[in-house]
Amino acid sequence: MGVMMRTIALITLLLLPAAALAQTVPQGALSLNQASQFRALTKSDTATFPPTRGLHIGDASTCNVAVIGAQDTAAVTFNNVQSGQILPFSVTKLMSTNTTCATVTGLW
């Protein structure tokens, strides 16, 4: 096999995985990396909800978010969260204590 044929064969092998990943998702089908349900969350130190895919912060200025992760038992506070930011966290509780953000939307 000549150098040209080996080069073409190598390029083909390298591009096959990329071509498979570039395929589009059919209309109406869910993509595994996207949220498909949304709900405004209420701050509470006791109430829980199903684990999220992420949180959207809708406040007009920076704020703090205290959450308990899906696999955790203690709250963690994220400071200086920006308006419009999406936090890619799986959480089960939006704490009232230490959360200054007023508008938080859960993404599932």
Which pLDDT band holds residue 7 (cuts at 50, 70, 90)?
low
**pLDDT value of residue 5:** 67
What is the structure's pLDDT at 11? Answer: 64
71 falls within a domain = yes
What is the rounded (10 degree) CA torsion for 42, 59, 97, 40? 10
**Segment 26-51 mean pLDDT:** 84
Q: Looking at the domain assignment, is residue 23 inside a domain?
A: no
Residue 38's pLDDT is 94
Confidence of residue 35 (pLDDT cuts 50, 70, 90): confident
Is residue 6 included in any domain, yes or no? no
Total domains, the chain: 1
Q: Which H or E run includes 87?
A: strand 86-87
Spatial CA neighbour of 77 closest among 35, 45, 40:
45
Q: What is the 3-state secondary structure (H, E, C) of 10-32?
A: HHHHHHHHHHHHCCCCCCCCCCC
Range of the domain at 57: 33-107
Q: Tokens 């930011």 label which residue?
A: 85
**Would you state the pLDDT for residue 9?**
64
CB within 8 Å of 83: residues ≥ 6 apart: 57, 58, 59, 60, 61, 62
Would residue 61 count as lying in a domain? yes
Give a yes or no: residue 58 inside a domain: yes
**Is residue 89 included in any domain, yes or no?**
yes
The pLDDT mean for the chain works out to 83
